[in-house]
């Protein structure tokens, strides 16, 4: 298995594609890739329809999959304000690729028979190792798709993101081989000699202690540890450091424990969700997801320092368990709210990955929503970075 990631910055899309393709083939030692992932910065949005023809001039047989991104990542570097093409290519011996475009309303029900989903996804009946998902944020119910894929293919790793950088709905933003699409989703299934490890850094740090959501109704939390949420938040605000109080009013999130019967919780144990506000009459807490009664929850704050510490901790934990099996390539799907404006300098997440995991090819884009698993269940995230670490099952490949 061999991966490479490159980028090119040219005003002309034609020149950018040619330059990036030359760099990619050189990085792959002249080998034709089996897969090319293309992430196109928003400056090229009006020329997106020209991509298939330009790419097929460069790659005769590769599976071509890509999307539009407000900013893109190639060779571990984030694009700035200039037009950029980012390409990640892979030579994948003994790996089967099956890619399809899915339209809203044209997929089987979540609880349909497996064979119906196999037919739609063009799968031969086997459980894929990985599914890479790219979707239009305006026209497709991605969360329902994730629920269905988790049910039908429970051992398969799913990751990806929602296209970004569109000025309005209906903009062409998805690419699959010879076609572009202005709606729907792409699903690329990979089967065979492949292992994909994931890191989902949600960018928050906990405050206070875990609590029980002792009374809930759908996405309303009526009681926390038997108290009104308004009362809990008031008490918490008085206890925290003065330096955290501004964050408490501007960047407060709720973590929902994915395992409910643990004695201790740490980074990665919570699914982070936005707090939408307090009900003025009841004092109930409004969250942007369903909260089951008696769930364990904890308040979290988000800032650049917390985000950096969260990522460093998760990547350090991954390194400790995978040092003998380093990845051949890395895909990064990160939030449009991260990057240089958030951290104060570019390439933060890529640099941390290089420092802790090694100098492996990193490619991806900035998403309108990131897709990745938390404790084995695939979710749509916000403000997160989702890393996919790709390596062979059989280690006699480069």
Shared domain check, 289 and 253: yes
pLDDT at residue 397, rounded to an integer: 43
397 falls within a domain? no
The 10 Å Cβ neighbour count of residue 346 is: 16
- Boundary (domain end) residue, out of 246, 267, 301: 301
Shared domain check, 342 and 277: no
Give tens-digit pLDDT for 255-282: 999 887 777 887 678 999 999 999 888 8
Nearest residue to 209 (alpha-carbon basis) of 287, 261, 271, 264: 264
Q: Looking up tokens 């809930």, which residue turns up? A: 216
Locate the DSSP E strands across 92-194.
95-102, 130-135, 157-162, 174-176, 179-181, 185-192
Give tens-digit pLDDT for 76-90: 999 988 999 999 999
Lowest-pLDDT choice from 64-78, 145-159, 310-324: 310-324
- For residues 74 and 86, the answer to whether their CB atoms sit within 8 Å is yes
Report if pTM > 0.85: yes
Range 143-147, long-range pairs (CB < 8 A, 24+ positions): 143/379, 143/380, 144/110, 145/102, 145/107, 145/185, 145/187, 146/371, 146/378, 146/379, 146/380, 147/110
373 falls within a domain? yes
398 falls within a domain? no
The predicted model gives 5-21 an average pLDDT of 96
396 falls within a domain? no
In terms of residue numbers, what domain contains 279? 205-301
Give tens-digit pLDDT for 123-174: 988 899 999 999 999 999 999 999 999 999 999 999 999 999 998 999 999 9
The predicted model gives 291-309 an average pLDDT of 93
Shared domain check, 280 and 162: no
278 falls within a domain? yes
Shared domain check, 106 and 131: yes
| pLDDT, the chain, mean | 94
239 falls within a domain? yes
Shared domain check, 110 and 15: yes
pLDDT at residue 398, rounded to an integer: 45
Is 147 buried (19+), middle (13-18) or exposed (0-12) by CB count in 10 A? middle
365 falls in which pLDDT band (50, 70, 90)? very high
76 falls within a domain? yes
229 falls within a domain? yes
| Assigned token pair, 160 | 């990806």
Q: Residue 206 contacts by C-beta under 8 Å, 6 or more apart in sequence?
A: 255, 265, 270, 298, 299, 300
Shared domain check, 318 and 178: yes
The predicted model gives 233-260 an average pLDDT of 91
């Amino acid at each position: 298995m061999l991966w490479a990631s490159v980028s090119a910055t040219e005003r002309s899309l034609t020149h950018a594609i040619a330059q990036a393709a030359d760099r990619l083939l050189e990085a792959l030692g002249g080998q034709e890739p089996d897969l090319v992932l293309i992430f196109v910065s928003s400056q090229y949005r009006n020329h997106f329809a020209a991509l298939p023809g330009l790419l097929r001039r460069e790659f005769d047989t590769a599976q071509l999959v890509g999307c539009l991104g407000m900013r893109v990542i190639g060779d571990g570097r984030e694009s700035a304000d200039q037009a950029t093409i980012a390409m990640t290519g892979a030579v994948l011996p003994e790996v089967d690729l099956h890619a399809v475009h899915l339209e809203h309303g044209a997929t089987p029900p979540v609880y349909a028979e497996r064979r119906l989903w196999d037919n739609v996804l063009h799968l031969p009946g086997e459980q894929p190792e990985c599914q890479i998902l790219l979707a239009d944020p305006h026209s497709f119910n991605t969360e329902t798709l994730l629920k269905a894929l988790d049910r039908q293919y429970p051992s398969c790793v799913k990751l990806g993101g929602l296209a970004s950088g569109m000025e309005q709905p209906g903009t062409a933003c998805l690419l699959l081989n010879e076609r572009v699409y202005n709606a729907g989703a792409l699903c690329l299934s990979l089967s065979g000699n492949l292992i994909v490890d994931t890191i989902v850094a949600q960018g928050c740090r906990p405050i206070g202690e875990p609590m029980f959501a002792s009374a809930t109704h759908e996405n309303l939390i009526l009681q926390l540890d038997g108290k009104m949420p308004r009362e809990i938040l008031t008490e918490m605000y008085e206890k925290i450091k003065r330096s955290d109080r501004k964050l408490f009013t501007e960047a407060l999130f709720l973590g929902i424990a994915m395992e409910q019967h643990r004695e201790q919780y740490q980074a990665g144990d919570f699914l982070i969700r936005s707090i939408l506000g307090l009900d003025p009459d009841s004092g109930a807490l409004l969250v942007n997801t369903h909260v089951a009664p008696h769930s364990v929850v904890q308040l979290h704050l988000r800032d650049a320092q917390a985000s950096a510490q969260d990522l460093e901790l998760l990547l350090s934990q991954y390194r400790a368990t995978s040092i003998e099996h380093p990845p051949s390539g890395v895909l990064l799907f990160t939030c449009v709210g991260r990057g240089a404006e958030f951290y104060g300098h570019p390439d933060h997440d890529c640099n941390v990955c290089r420092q802790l995991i090694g100098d492996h090819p990193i490619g991806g884009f900035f998403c309108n929503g990131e897709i990745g698993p938390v404790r084995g269940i695939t979710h749509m995230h916000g403000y997160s970075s989702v890393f996919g670490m790709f390596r062979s099952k059989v280690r006699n490949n480069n």
